Amino acid sequence: MKIYIKRHKLHAGKWIYGGYARAWEQLGYDVEFFDSLSQISDNDYTIMIPDSAVEEVHIDVIQKSKRAYIYVQPNSFPEPWGRHPNFWCNCSDLLIKKINEMENAVLWSWVDLDNGVRENHYFNWKEIQTIPLAFDSISYKKIKNKDYEYDVCFVGGWADNGFNEKKKIMIEHFKYLMRSGIKCGIFINKNISHEEENLILYNSKIAINVHDAYQRILGNDTNERTFKSLGLTGALVSDNIRQISNIFPELPLYDTPDEMMGLIDTHLSNDTKLKQVKDHYRNEIEKNHTYINRVKQIIELG
């Protein structure tokens, strides 16, 4: 059976669905990316698709699939972020109704749907399963290289969601690091290669994570960097996101830049303890939080 996955050419979607594709392949499936549902003509296939790629004119392709794993967006989103297209569902009410009636359509999101999220923001959809993001253990390798050893590292971009809130948060926190005298490898919008990112994260002592404003306030989802940092670096200093607390209840999180620096100092002050932390979380990610794990979860949904 072939697995068709919607092609994402930019930003997080490219990395996330690429991770899923490699995981399906690792489990023995034949995987192909598609740009439009009109390209699919097989008789025995499963599709993995965001709701934004569902087309009324080709809804029959979803109906004929063995399984259609559809990532869904909310019908509404809290203000002010709900004003921006990044947080809109692109499916019409009619399309949502058709999808809800399909027994082969399995709906999922990486958002936690408790605390009223389901009732207030996903109210038009049928049952949705939460499957968080994960670590791409296939394309990232454990390679030692002393040229990429930093005390603290961060690799990422400003990731403007339409309100440019994250840039201000990052500047506020990273200026503390710049003043600290700690050996830092901070790479923002540097377009470094996948191989360099891999080496920086694996060889550094600590990885930093910073989330967007809506994630900090709502707490319902975390970014892929959480899993990537724990899987490669092993020691993560992240801001306080409720979903991270739920997944990794023993992981200390920070609310302020001062708390961030305190957690960094704690890690750097004890090499033996730091090694134990790194070994623990690298093993935890490899065991439970790779895209291979996530594909297995998706398959179990039906």
Q: Is residue 271 part of a domain?
A: yes
Q: Are residues 109 and 12 in the same domain?
A: yes
User: What is the three-class DSSP state of 121?
Assistant: helix
Last residue of a domain, one of 131, 159, 186: 131
Partners of 238 in the beta sheet? 209, 253
Q: Based on the domain organization, do 57 and 173 belong to the same domain?
A: no
Query: What CATH number did the domain enclosing 18 receive?
Result: 3.40.50
Let me know whether 191 and 273 are in one domain: yes
What's the residue count for the chain?
A: 302
What is the structure's pLDDT at 163? 87
Q: What is the pLDDT of residue 33?
A: 97
For residues 84 and 58, state if they share a domain: yes
Query: What pTM, to 2 d.p., does this model score?
Result: 0.95
Please report the pLDDT score of residue 9 as a whole number: 83
Strand segments, DSSP code E, in 113-265 are 128-130, 152-156, 184-188, 206-209, 236-239, 253-254
Does residue 299 belong to any structural domain of this protein?
Answer: no
Q: Let me know if residue 294 belongs to a domain.
A: no
The answer to whether residue 239 sits within a structural domain is yes
- Indicate the residue among 131, 157, 187 that finishes a domain: 131
Query: Looking at the structure, do residues 153 and 280 belong to the same domain, yes or no?
Result: yes
Considering the domain architecture, whether residues 85 and 39 belong to the same structural domain is answered as: yes
Domain boundary among 71, 100, 131: 131
> What was the pLDDT predicted at 170?
95
- Same domain, yes or no, for 101 and 211? no
Residue 258 lies in a domain: yes
Instruction: Enumerate long-range contacts of 110-117, CB under 8 Å, 24 or more apart.
Output: 110/71, 110/221, 111/74, 111/220, 111/221, 112/219, 112/220, 112/221, 112/242, 112/243, 112/246, 113/220, 115/220, 117/74, 117/220
Asked whether residue 7 is domain-assigned, the answer is yes
Total structural domains within the chain: 2
CATH number of the domain residue 150 falls in: 3.40.50.2000
Are 107 and 168 found together in one domain? no
H-helix or E-strand spanning residue 2: strand 2-6
Same domain, yes or no: 184 and 110: no
If asked whether residues 151 and 88 sit together in one domain, one would say no
Residue 276 in domain:
yes
Q: Are 19 and 139 in contact (CB under 8 A)?
A: yes
What is the residue range of 88's domain? 2-131
| DSSP helix/strand/coil, 122 | coil
Whether residues 85 and 168 fall in one domain? no
How is residue 132 annotated by DSSP?
-
Residue 139 inside a domain? The answer is no
Give pLDDT tens digits along the chain (302 positions). 899 999 998 778 899 999 999 999 999 999 999 999 999 988 899 999 999 999 999 999 999 999 999 999 999 999 999 988 888 898 999 999 999 999 999 999 999 999 899 999 999 999 999 999 999 999 999 999 999 999 999 999 888 888 899 999 999 999 999 999 999 999 999 989 999 999 999 999 999 999 999 999 999 999 999 999 999 999 999 999 999 999 999 999 999 999 999 999 999 999 999 999 999 999 999 999 999 999 999 999 98
